[in-house]
Amino acid sequence: MRLRSLLLAWLLVPSLALWGLAFAFGYLHSLGQAHEAFDRTLLGSALVLGERLQLQDGEVVADLPPAALEMLRTDAHDRVFYRVVDVRSGRHITGYADLPDPPQASASAPSVPRFYDGEHQGQAVRIVALTVDLLDGERSRPLQVQVAETQEARRELTRRQVLEAAAVQLALIGLAAALIALGVRRGLAPLKRLRAEVRARGADDLQPIATRDVPREVAPLIQAINTQMLRQRQLSELQLRFVANASHQLKTPLTLLRAQIDHALQQSALPAMRGVLEQIHQSALGTQRLVSQLLSLARSDPSLALAKEPLDLVALAREVTFEMLTHSRARGIDLGFEGEGRITVTAEHVLLREAIANLVHNAITYTHAAAVSDAARADADGASRGGLVTVRVQAGEGGSPCLSVCDNGPGIPPDERARVLERFYRRPGAGGSGSGLGLSIVKEICERHDIELTLQDGADGLGLCVLMRWRG
């Protein structure tokens, strides 16, 4: 339903209902006023009739000439009836004997006029009855005087008053409806301007909507929309930056891979070709690793929902460590695992596995590079150290699960540890052939799982130790 129609309905329907109630009360009030006015006239007629009653030789005589009867009429369309009855004997004295009897008079106020409705000669009549006392010598002789009239004049007056009041009220209702419609239209004008402004925007325009001319009640909605647009703008910028960085990062290994393939095609000797194919194989593995990391980065996008489930952290970390044994042995790294029992965490299986694999792969890669550098120096001084990487799962302080990957590689200076968590950042002079995505992926996965990620010095100040600590 349109907002304008809804507002008009909520404003006009109650107004019409109130008008109906006002009309009903007005009708009842007009009817009461008409009855009161005509009853006063009817009572006056009865009093006039009572004044025309006389006693002559002990008999009641009603001196009612035709002119006097005409004076009793209140309207040309109404008929008037009367009756005089002796209260003590109940004898009919004069008038219409078949007029309906009045209700019983109150014992405390017998002389109070009584008004009542009845029917006479097939017509509805309004009747007043009062008691008139005539003096018969020293005695009082009570007489009951009744005057009745038909109700045409009453109904006509009531009908005329109701129609006049209805005409005035309908005119007021029409004016009020027009003013309400105009008010609703003017009130919705800022929203129409806002709609036109939004429609005129380009598909990529996610700038906040101005709230200066918006009604106060609509401002929270606009602010909520602006917040959502800000999220969409940030997400769009993040996606554009991701695509740009991914394109840049994939261009170099693919170019190198193509150059190596071209070089292999130019070789005729099998040993030379084998060496080039080995280089191609390593480049393909590196490219595969980069693509895998890019996909993991996309899966860790905050806009995507997580399918969390209970996982055994010890079993998962042990499985990843064993899968990395071949990689570590090829690089001369002593890869170990420490963890017992079962430690349950709630996480998305694929993302948590990718985070652990990235930490172990990084540790092996950079510890191997440091070991190679140490081996080169060992040729000069005759001393060298082997590469060590340890994956450890245990319950930390307060019983919260904790996973750590520690190595004795080159480590990361404290002032560089925040930057290495950024996407595509690689420390100057760092060994290995990574893309700078590993730790940034781990960081984003930890943020989505509310896991505290810490980088600190390894044992005895050697190497790096990365800790993932579950909060709560």
Q: Is the pLDDT of residue 444 over 50?
A: yes
**Pair (448, 309) in one structural domain:** yes
Does residue 310 sit within a domain?
A: yes
Does residue 292 sit within a domain?
A: yes
Question: In the chain, how many domains are there?
Answer: 3
* Residue 137: Cβ within 10 Å count: 8
**Pair (9, 129) in one structural domain:** yes
The confidence band for 424, taking pLDDT boundaries of 50, 70 and 90, is low
Does residue 171 sit within a domain?
A: no
Look at 63-67, 334-338, 437-441, 457-461 and tell me which has the smallest mean pLDDT: 63-67
Q: Is the pLDDT of residue 416 over 90?
A: no
**pLDDT, position 292:** 62
Does residue 244 sit within a domain?
A: yes
**Pair (218, 321) in one structural domain:** no
The residue segments making up the domain with residue 58 are 3-158
Q: Is the pLDDT of residue 117 over 50?
A: yes
CATH assignment of the domain containing 339: 3.30.565.10
Domain end (from 158, 193, 213): 158
Helix (H) or strand (E) holding 38: helix 3-51
Cα distances from 332 to residues 359, 438, 458, in angstroms, run: 18, 21, 19
Judge contact between 401 and 470, C-beta under 8 A: yes
**pLDDT, position 345:** 94
The confidence band for 169, taking pLDDT boundaries of 50, 70 and 90, is confident
Task: Give the count of alpha carbons within 13 A of 193, CB side only.
Answer: 13
Does residue 188 sit within a domain?
A: no
Domain end (from 121, 139, 158): 158
Which is it for strands 80-86 and 59-62: parallel, antiparallel or unpaired?
Answer: unpaired
**Pair (7, 152) in one structural domain:** yes
**pLDDT, position 303:** 56
**Pair (208, 310) in one structural domain:** no
The confidence band for 405, taking pLDDT boundaries of 50, 70 and 90, is very high
Q: Is the pLDDT of residue 68 over 80?
A: no
**Pair (293, 352) in one structural domain:** no
The confidence band for 384, taking pLDDT boundaries of 50, 70 and 90, is very low
CATH assignment of the domain containing 151: 3.30.450
Helix (H) or strand (E) holding 364: helix 349-381
Domain end (from 284, 299, 314): 299
Does residue 104 sit within a domain?
A: yes
Between CA 84 and CA 127 the distance in angstroms is 13
**Pair (130, 224) in one structural domain:** no
Query: What is the DSSP code string of 121-145?
Result: TTEEEEEEEEEEEEEETTEEEEEEE
Long-range contacts of the stretch 164-172 (C-beta < 8 A, 24+)? 165/23, 165/26, 165/27, 165/30, 166/23, 169/19, 169/22, 169/23, 169/26
Mean pLDDT over all residues of the chain? 79
**Pair (228, 350) in one structural domain:** no
**Pair (262, 320) in one structural domain:** no
Does residue 190 sit within a domain?
A: no
Judge contact between 351 and 311, C-beta under 8 A: no
**Pair (211, 340) in one structural domain:** no
Query: Amino acid identity, residue 100?
Result: P
CATH assignment of the domain containing 270: 1.10.287.130
**Pair (356, 463) in one structural domain:** yes
**Pair (393, 314) in one structural domain:** yes
Does residue 166 sit within a domain?
A: no
Look at 80-84, 123-127, 319-323, 368-372 and tell me which has the smallest mean pLDDT: 368-372
- Give every CB contact of residue 394 below 8 A, 6+ residues apart in sequence: 338, 339, 343, 402
